[in-house]
Amino acid sequence: MSFHAAPPQRWRKSTRCGASTTCVEVAGHDDGIVSVRDGAADDTCLEFAPGEWRRFVAAARRGAFDLH
């Protein structure tokens, strides 16, 4: 993970979240870094290198984090 001096300008959240403020939000930087934060506590965020982010998304799509 890396850390940027300035926060991203545009955060996005899933359309499934609706009007809720408790969803996870993501934002991309020009250099490919992806920031992730909790919409309810937006004072901190995690940042991932492009390869790290792609591996996380692929694992999520495979269901690796599903709670069955």
> Is the model's pTM score more than 0.95?
no
DSSP, collapsed to helix, strand or coil, labels residue 5 as coil
pLDDT band at 56 (very low <50, low <70, confident <90, very high): very high
Task: State the Cα–Cα distance between residues 34 and 64, nearest whole angstrom.
Answer: 20
pLDDT band at 66 (very low <50, low <70, confident <90, very high): very high
